Structure 1
Amino acid sequence: MIDVLIIDDEPLALDVLETFIEQMPEVNLVQRCENAFEANDALKKHDIDLIFLDIQMPQLTGIDFYKSLKNPPEVIFTTAYSNYAVEGFEMDAVDYLVKPISLDRFMKAVNKATEKIGSKSDSGSAGNDDDEYIFVKADKKLIKVNYNDILYIEGLKDYVIIRMETGRVITLQTMKSLEDKLPEKFFKRIHRSYILGLNKIQAVVGNTVEVLENGKVKQLPIGKNYRDELLDIVNQNRL
């Protein structure tokens, strides 16, 4: 069961979302909110897993509101304007729904959110880092890859290359799909083409991260949209 808030300044839009939610037994609607201030108050009172957040709202937009949250829940943005999609996904939104929203599209978004929330829960309750792994399809077989062996992951169109201390694995999937499956406590997206194993960082120099690959220093670029979050992680572990 996932607990959700729906946030929209249009009562009809709230009604539609509530009707859809009532048809999904795994989703619990905690509260309807008509603006960011009601939502902020609700988040202080309840443990929320997911918010459906309208972008175009008076006084404070959905995007600005989400950026203001210190530890935000997962988010699915809703709006009548598709031109916000890129910014929504840059904020690691689970999904982006353009109004009018159909039930099947809504269900797909909720299923994505449920999977992402469940994977976070599983990674948070796991034991020794060395015992954690993922199976990746490559060369017509499923290859076991230990999280602790991954140096970084490189995106190449529809393929990703998982770089490890023992070699590499090339698999057909997108960076976003793999990022969603990896535990956030071990990995961080630092660029549109790179996901980094956090325990492999040797140094942060300007707009690059240094890791050791085959005994040599490898510099990975830090994208401007990812820099602040990466530096927050580094500063949290700084002496």
Structure 2
Amino acid sequence: MNTKKYRCLIVDDEPPAIRLLENYISKVSFLEKVGSTTSALEALQIIESQEIDLVFLDIQMPELSGIQVSKIVKGKTKIIFTTAYPQFAIESYDLHAIDYLLKPSEFERFYEAVLKIRKNETPKEVTTNDTFLFVKTDGKNNYEKVYQNEICYIEGLKNYVAVHLLDKVVITYNTLKHIEESLGNSHFVKVHKSYIVAIKHIIKTDSITVYIKEKALPIGDTYKKNFFEKIESYKL
């Protein structure tokens, strides 16, 4: 059983946002707040001088943006971005952040995000004969290998697609239709115009929602018949 306490730093230029996160952190047994600051420059000093496991990092701040801070610390700590602007989501995924929270976030959404730090440290079983794809990321010839057995669900984001894996999210400039065709096996099913799910990672479902890990995804009317036919084929 993982009993580790994750040392957290809050970086936000709005004191009310800091207080909200402090309250949320105090409710989670595996989190420990070790500091907070309204200064991005001070945050860099803290990260350099202390052992910080997780930073709640505001994106829009004076001096340096959260995006810039993330690029400077480069993997020295895990990051959950906080922002009032959803258009930053794609860039935050590109920087391999654990998650991003839209302000003001509810506790349920906060808890869903912080659970991911534990998953990132859970060893994954990867077999040599597992099916994989090379997903194009940023840059002309940049690709990332993605094992199909690690895909939880795939999300369409206008001109981009977010491939949600067990421990991270990979963003690619592509269409959901193209990704669906590339998967080419029966272990994935489209449940909504914006979502494809991996059947093996479904926890439960009802008539309108499918649950993948802690994420609740809608089932679109157009896709219900095919989805439940797939589910029936796995029924005991």
Under a length normalisation based on structure 2, what TM-score does the superposition of the two structures give? Answer: 0.56
Distance change in 2, residues 1:19/1:49 (3 Å): same
Q: Alpha-carbon deviations, 1:97-153, whole Å to 9, x = none?
A: 01111111111101112221x22xxx5xxxxxxxxx62xxxxxxxxxx43xx25872
> Any conservation in 2 of the 1:78–1:96 contact (CA below 8 Å)?
yes
Residue 17 (structure 1) shift: 0.3
**Match of 1:173, SS?**
strand
Q: Alpha-carbon deviations, 1:51-93, whole Å to 9, x = none?
A: 1000000121000111112443111100111111110111111
Equivalent runs, 1:220-231 vs 2, <5 Å: none
Task: Identify the residue that residue 87 of structure 2 maps to in structure 1.
Answer: 83
The match for 2:58 among 51, 54, 61 is 54
CA distance in 1, matches of 2:77, 2:97: 10
**Match of 2:29, SS?**
coil
Distance change in 2, residues 1:105/1:190 (3 Å): closer
The match for 2:167 among 177, 180, 194 is 180
Residue 21 (structure 1) shift: 0.4
Residue 172 (structure 1) shift: 6.6
The match for 1:153 among 110, 123, 132 is 132
> Any conservation in 1 of the 2:41–2:63 contact (CA below 8 Å)?
no
Task: Identify the residue that residue 229 of structure 1 maps to in structure 2.
Answer: none
CA distance in 1, matches of 2:146, 2:58: 36
Task: Identify the residue that residue 234 of structure 1 maps to in structure 2.
Answer: none
> Any conservation in 1 of the 2:98–2:113 contact (CA below 8 Å)?
yes
Residue 36 (structure 1) shift: 1.0
Task: Identify the residue that residue 20 of structure 1 maps to in structure 2.
Answer: 24
> Any conservation in 1 of the 2:131–2:149 contact (CA below 8 Å)?
no
Runs ≥4 residues deviating over 4 A: 169-172, 189-194
Residue 171 (structure 1) shift: 7.9
Distance change in 2, residues 1:173/1:49 (3 Å): same
Residue 179 (structure 1) shift: 5.8
**Match of 2:167, SS?**
helix
Equivalent runs, 1:1-239 vs 2, <5 Å: 1-116=5-120, 118-119=121-122, 123=123, 134=125, 145-146=126-127, 149=128, 153-154=132-133, 162=147, 173-174=152-153, 176-178=163-165, 180=167
> Any conservation in 2 of the 1:66–1:72 contact (CA below 8 Å)?
no
Distance change in 2, residues 1:154/1:174 (3 Å): farther
CA distance in 1, matches of 2:9, 2:28: 14
Task: Identify the residue that residue 205 of structure 2 maps to in structure 1.
Answer: none
Distance change in 2, residues 1:10/1:161 (3 Å): closer
Structure 2 unpaired stretches of 5+: 136-144, 155-162, 174-178, 183-236
Q: Percent identity?
A: 35
Could you say what the CA RMSD is over the residues aligned between the two structures, in angstroms? 3.2
Q: Alpha-carbon deviations, 1:157-183, whole Å to 9, x = none?
A: xxx985xxxxxx7787347443627xx
Distance change in 2, residues 1:152/1:172 (3 Å): closer
| 2:165 counterpart letter in structure 1 | L
Residue 44 (structure 1) shift: 1.8
> Any conservation in 2 of the 1:6–1:14 contact (CA below 8 Å)?
yes
State the number of aligned residues.
154
> Any conservation in 2 of the 1:80–1:98 contact (CA below 8 Å)?
yes
> Any conservation in 2 of the 1:2–1:114 contact (CA below 8 Å)?
no
